[in-house]
């Protein structure tokens, strides 16, 4: 996920109506630009000295969608006619982030038993760290996932999601229901239909729109 932050300073004497017209113009962009997930233009509250006049926060699934946004004709056709005449200066930056919706989409993919759908969430150099050791790369992770889904109905439920920049920490209830008798799994044997419930904490670090490092810890 990519967040773009743009800070705009207006020319001295720009009236309130002109400032609001610029804010409203940015609100029109989702109708013109595919891949723009959300946009939040906000005028400064004048609580501090020396601040910018307008902040525009926009969110995208990936870098390609951001670049499409930055180069889209709507920037010239919708934004520039109202912003250009009153613009004194601007700065922008882009940073990666993960949010609760992204994590919920990940768990929906995990619970689907669709390895191809799940693969899209993993960076080519992903590492998964757990008490069983370290798995390197999507193929290793998905091989284990394939074994699990062959033997269990494995459903992960996020009980609580905390995000900070490109890192998410999730408290998870993981329910395994045996599809057939399983002789050994995590030190236990299970008969068909028997359920094992684990409480876990997962830390997920995002890079280039996918998980680069995952750490799973058992709780209790």
**Spatial distance between the Cα atoms of 174 and 149, rounded to a whole number of angstroms:** 13
| Percent of the chain at pLDDT exceeding 90 | 93
Average pLDDT of the residues in 135-140: 97
| Helix ranges, 72-137 (H) | 73-74, 80-83, 100-111, 115-119
| Percent of the chain at pLDDT exceeding 70 | 100
Domain boundaries, the chain: 2-96, 100-218
- One-character DSSP codes across 164-177: ETTEEEEEEEEEEE
Average pLDDT of the residues in 86-108: 95
pLDDT of residue 198: 95
Average pLDDT of the residues in 144-159: 95
pLDDT of residue 1: 86
Average pLDDT of the residues in 7-23: 96
pLDDT at 16 over 90: yes
Instruction: List, in sequence order, every beta strand (DSSP E) within 32-149.
Output: 36-43, 54-60, 87-96, 122-130, 133-136
217: left (phi over 0), alpha (psi -120 to 50) or beta: beta
Residue 106: pLDDT band with limits 50, 70, 90: very high
Could you read off the pLDDT of 116-127 as tens digits, one per residue?
A: 999 999 999 999
Average pLDDT of the residues in 96-102: 92
Could you read off the pLDDT of 52-96 as tens digits, one per residue?
A: 999 999 999 888 999 999 999 999 999 999 999 999 999 999 999
| CATH architecture classification, 2-96 | 2-Layer Sandwich (3.30)
pLDDT at 220 over 80: no
pLDDT of residue 126: 97
pLDDT of residue 145: 95
Q: What are phi and psi of 11, to 5 degrees?
A: -65, 150
pLDDT of residue 187: 86
Could you read off the pLDDT of 152-186 as tens digits, one per residue?
A: 999 999 999 999 999 999 999 999 999 999 998 98
Is residue 86 a contact partner of residue 10, using CB atoms and an 8 Å limit? yes
Residue 140: pLDDT band with limits 50, 70, 90: very high
Which top CATH class is 100-218?
Answer: alpha beta
């Amino acid at each position: 996920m990519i967040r773009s932050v743009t800070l705009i300073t207006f020319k001295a004497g720009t009236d309130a109506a002109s400032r609001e017209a610029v804010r409203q113009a940015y609100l029109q962009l989702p109708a013109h630009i595919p891949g723009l997930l959300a946009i939040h233009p906000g005028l400064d509250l004048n609580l501090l000295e020396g601040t910018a006049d307008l902040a525009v926060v926009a969110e995208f699934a990936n870098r390609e969608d951001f670049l499409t946004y930055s180069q889209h004709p709507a920037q010239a056709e919708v934004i520039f006619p109202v912003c250009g005449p009153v613009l004194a200066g601007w700065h922008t930056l882009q940073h990666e982030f993960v949010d609760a919706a992204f994590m919920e989409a990940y768990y929906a993919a995990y619970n689907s038993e669709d390895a191809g759908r799940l693969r899209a969430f993993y960076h080519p150099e992903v590492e998964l760290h757990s008490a069983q050791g370290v798995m390197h790369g999507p193929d290793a992770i998905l091989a284990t996932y394939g074994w699990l889904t062959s033997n269990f109905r494995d459903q992960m439920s996020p009980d609580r999601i905390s995000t900070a920049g490109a890192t998410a920490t999730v408290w998870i209830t993981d329910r395994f229901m045996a599809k057939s008798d399983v002789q050994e799994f995590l030190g236990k044997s299970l008969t068909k239909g028997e359920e094992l419930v684990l409480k876990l904490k997962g830390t997920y670090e995002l890079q280039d729109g996918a998980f680069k490092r995952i750490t799973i810890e058992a709780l209790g």
